[in-house]
Amino acid sequence: MSIDFERREYRYGNLTRAALRDSPFEQFQLWLDEAVASPIVDPTAMTVATLDAAGRPWQRAVLLKGFDARGFVFYTNLGSHKAARIAASAEVSLHFPWFQLDRQVGVAGTASPVSRAEVNDYFATRPRDSQLAAWASRQSTELASRAELEAAFAKCEARFAGGDVPAPEFWGGFRVAPRVFEFWQGGEMRLHDRFRYLPGPTPGSWRIVRLAP
């Protein structure tokens, strides 16, 4: 099947400079709230792109689990490929694909570990099966079969039967402090609206530029 002609028109709306908040954090919160209120499946899903020690990129989808003026938070096994790549290079980019709203948001910034207290607080809110899965899965390591993973899960069930499941020491989180934001709104005739927020001349200020689509 040819994909040459696989396309659609973007008719959801447009984005003007006057409509943008001066703060990219406020603008992102506005769009995030609208995405959560929409029919989008997994509106907090984002692609995280990282670099290894040789500068080779990789990406994967994770769920955004915290957002404020300090940045974007996600959690993972600290032995995972993504954690190893962040250790090699803290430069990270994020992408939110809100296609049902004809919107995308890109973010570039620096990742750093969240505090252990934040990890423990968040881990305590997870469903019990998710907590057990964090213990059972040594993320990114090779498995001989799915049965091996299921056996590890059963072993963790037995280990913590009747008690709370604490956050593993090998499980944690990262906060991406943004340096650049980009907001994209699909437009008719492929004349999309695209705005980038860049650091302004004074600390905490932002400069907004419109980019050709």
Block means of pLDDT (10 residues each) for the chain, 213 residues, are: 59 85 98 97 98 95 97 97 96 96 97 98 98 94 94 96 96 98 90 95 95 93
Residues 6+ apart with CB under 8 A from 51: 57, 58, 85, 88, 89, 91
Q: Could you give the CA distance from residue 73 to residue 176 in angstroms, rounded to a whole number?
A: 6
Task: Identify the pLDDT of residue 190.
Answer: 82
Q: Which residues are catalytic?
A: 190
Task: Identify the pLDDT of residue 187.
Answer: 86
**Predicted model pTM:** 0.92
Domains of the chain, with CATH numbers? 24-127+167-210 (2.30.110.10)
Is the Cβ–Cβ distance between 83 and 77 less than 8 Å? yes
Residue for token pair 């990742």: 111
Residues 6+ apart with CB under 8 A from 43: 32, 35, 36, 98
Task: Identify the pLDDT of residue 117.
Answer: 98
Task: Identify the pLDDT of residue 61.
Answer: 97
Q: Could you give the CA distance from residue 2 to residue 89 in angstroms, rounded to a whole number?
A: 38
